[in-house]
Chain A
Amino acid sequence: MSAWPFARHELLSLRRDRRAWAACACLFVLLVAAFVSSAQMHRAYERTRSAAQVASHRQWLTQGTKNAHSAAHFGEYAFRPLPALAPFEPGLHGVIGTTVYLEAHKENDLRDAPDEDGSRLTYLDGSAAFLARTVLPLLVFLLVAASIAGERERGTLKMLLAQGATLPRIVLGKTLAFGVLLAGLTFGAALVASVVNAAEIVRVAGLAASYLLFALAALFLAMVVSMGARDSRRAVVVLFAFWAVGMVLGPRVAASVAQAVAPMPLRSEAQADLERDLDPAGHEQRTAALRARVLAENGVARVEDLPMDFRGIALQADEERGYGIFDRHRAALRAREARQETVLRGASVLLPWLALDQASTAFAGTDLRHAEHFADAAEAHRRTLVGAMNRYVTTARGKDADASLWETIPAFAYEAPGARFAFGYAWTSLLVLLGWAALPFGAMLHRARRSHEIGEAA
């Protein structure tokens, strides 16, 4: 006797249960609508962003004849491209910031501009992804809670066993039916997502794998609870408690713990710390020391006798000192973020919702690491631009620059990392989700076998 008759029966039951059918259809339509509108939103956003990036560079090119250092202050904007899947899964995109103003002396809008509360959870953002990962387990729990407990309550489980069916087969059959339903839902949505975002098919595959593993984990857990519950109402209560703690309360507590372990400074505090290290009051003294050193190296007594413009050397030295300070502060902030991430990843072992949140934002390209990738590219471009301007000041000896210099600076062109970048670290989240699917699956089979053997199944 295979598990298939039980699976077929469960699928027939689901088909005839209009509430289950309607709930699954609603979720599927929501996901499809989210992906289709995502693609439209992405195209519209990218048109605007590209136009803004072109306009910013045109302003740079047409700023006229002026002092090169003034041009470095004039600067340029770097606009972060919207990841194709961001409208589905906004993650931290937008919370962190999407635009960087590139100018001399300042690493503006540090990509790590702290959130209001320093939390890195994508809470209550109302996105389709958030709804999917919150509603999906609830849907699974409500569908599966009565699967075995309901049979026991009705008395049909006793009948099935008396007929010669075994509990492991019944459980496997039902699990297969729900698994087919969830896989259909996930792959259907992923197919639509792949069609409308053909370039992101690998990221879509990562997303689909994450959500499917999460749904399967919820399914197996629900089966274990349903097997142990006397009736379906008790199973629903237990599973709702799992949902409330595991999907709502637990992640919030984990985020608070992460914030307590590695508190993120407020933006004003971070800025004040940076200003203190930059020490503008010591500028004159540092310049005097540099002047003395440069004069000595060149064997002259006055800056006018130098073969280059000392102002350019001083500006670049000041920039390079700033780079070190900016790098140190950025590294310190990232270290705090890394500690928070470690706490959240650790917590995700207990709270699979967190693992899914991490995997989902990683594959959508809307997490912190993707934001950092952009910020690093923008900062590298700023340093190229400012360095070129300072070199000109050094060599032009007071002569204004014009378009021929501005044209040596390429337009800021950011290439977002590919799917491999996301897989490079999101595999740990996938592994956690796999574990969360495997553990309750094993528990489900073990419990089914044991209950059957000791005659406690009915």
Chain B
Amino acid sequence: MPDASSSIAVSVRSLCKRYGDARAVDDLSFEIEAGRILALLGANGAGKSTTVHMLLGLIAPSSGTVEIGGHDVVREVAAVRRAAAYVPDRLALYPHLTGLENLAYFHQVGGGAARSQGDLEAALERVGLERSAFQRRASTYSKGMCQKVGLAIALAKNAKVLLLDEPLSGLDPKAANEFCAKLKEIAQTGTSVLMATHDLFRAHDTADDIGIMRDGKLLKTLRTTDIDAGGLEALYLEQMR
């Protein structure tokens, strides 16, 4: 049973994922408290996406445990998916549906409470999607617009944990800034965020905590208040050597 008084929203202990002899994720442990943002930094192949996928139960861990909202991902995957929302790097929408229809469909299949069209439109407005785009088919959307719909889908779920896999990749600077600003707003409401990214500077601006990964291992964890952006870059490059 989840401990209601606990402020730990995400707990990862000794998490491993092996593919034959290769270790995609190796003995990973970290926690995210309620209302905090953790950015996992690392080069391509560091194991960030595999970690996010294991947190959602999309990939079965080889060993270790993951708890989200107090639910174990192996034993209670449905509860974990109810507690967490996910925004992938290339947010996939149904091109023949409008932005509003995509939001309504993903919200419905998530078993979310019925929302009026007004509520759904408000969710899209909240993430900064232009009203004129609501009724346009997603096939006409830019990547930034798709990411905004993805964030709206996640927010509409009222999830306590947001899992973001490279959400800033491909976004123009303005869209990326807007996206990060929204994340901070969301975290202030008590939602915990895990953001896998290799954008050092936005990670530093947005996150409360930073984890640096390489070859499936979490090499370093630190608070962003303890280091400036330049220092983070130097530390990151040192760890990547």
Contact = CB atoms under 8 A, between A and B. Distances in A.
Nearest to A454: B60
Nearest to A458: B58
B219 interface: no
B109 A163 contact: yes
A156 B149 CA distance: 13
Interface of A is mostly: helix
B216 interface: no
A156 B94 contact: yes
Interface stretch (B36-44, B81-89, B172-180, B222-230): B81-89
A6 interface: yes
Given A159-B88, A164-B82, A456 B60 contact: yes
A275 B88 CA distance: 82
Contacts of B57: 161, 455
B30 to A, nearest CB: 20
Interface in A408-458: 454-458
A13 B27 CA distance: 43
Nearest to A14: B96
A155 interface: yes
A9 B105 CA distance: 8
Q: Which of A155, A159, A165 counts the most B-chain CB atoms under 10 A from its CB? A: A159
Nearest to B157: A163
B78 interface: yes
A155 B94 contact: no
A214 B88 CA distance: 39
Nearest to B82: A164
A316 B74 CA distance: 88
A403 B43 CA distance: 105
B181 interface: no
Given A162-B58, A455-B57, A456-B60, A6 B109 contact: yes
Contacts of B153: 159, 163
Given A5-B109, A455-B57, A458-B53, A163 B81 contact: yes
Interface in B82-136: 82, 84-86, 88, 90-94, 96-97, 105-111
B56 A155 contact: no
Nearest to A154: B92
Contacts of A159: 86, 88, 91-92, 106, 150, 153
Contacts of A162: 56, 58, 81, 84-86, 163
A1 interface: yes
A458 B165 CA distance: 15
Contacts of B94: 9, 13, 154, 156
B91 to A, nearest CB: 8
Contacts of A276: none
Contacts of B77: 455
A158 B105 contact: no
Interface in B157-201: 157, 163
Contacts of A454: 60
Contacts of B86: 158-159, 162-163
A1 B58 contact: no
Contacts of A456: 59-60
B78 A164 contact: yes
B105 A455 contact: no
Interface residues of A, number: 25
Interface in A153-197: 154-156, 158-166
Contacts of A16: 96
Interface string A317-360: 00000000000000000000000000000000000000000000
A438 B227 CA distance: 63
Contacts of B108: 5
A9 B109 CA distance: 10
Interface in A364-382: none
Nearest to A9: B105
A5 B101 CA distance: 12
B58 A163 contact: no
A413 to B, nearest CB: 60
Contacts of A161: 56-58, 81
A156 B96 contact: no
Interface string A1-37: 1000110010011001100000000000000000000
Contact of A164 (B53, B90, B93, B111): B111
Contact of A158 (B58, B97, B109): B58
B184 to A, nearest CB: 22
A155 B49 CA distance: 14
Contacts of A455: 57-60, 77
B19 to A, nearest CB: 12
A13 B96 contact: yes
B149 to A, nearest CB: 11
Contacts of A155: 88, 90-92
Contacts of A12: 97
Contacts of B92: 154-156, 158-159
A154 B106 CA distance: 15
Given A455-B58, A455-B59, A158 B88 contact: yes
Contact of B109 (A1, A13, A154): A1
A257 to B, nearest CB: 44
Interface of A: 1, 5-6, 9, 12-13, 16-17, 154-156, 158-166, 454-458
Given A158-B86, A160-B106, A160-B109, 7 more contacts: A1-B109, A158-B58, A162-B81, A162-B86, A163-B86, A163-B107, A457-B58
Interface of B: 53, 56-60, 77-78, 81-82, 84-86, 88, 90-94, 96-97, 105-111, 150, 153, 157, 163
21 contacts: A1-B111, A12-B97, A16-B96, A154-B94, A156-B92, A156-B93, A162-B85, A162-B86, A163-B107, A163-B109, A163-B110, A163-B153, A164-B78, A164-B81, A164-B110, A164-B111, A165-B109, A165-B110, A166-B78, A456-B59, A457-B58
Task: Report the 6 A-B pairs with minimum CB-CB distance, sorted nearest first.
Answer: A155-B92, A163-B110, A162-B86, A455-B60, A164-B81, A165-B109
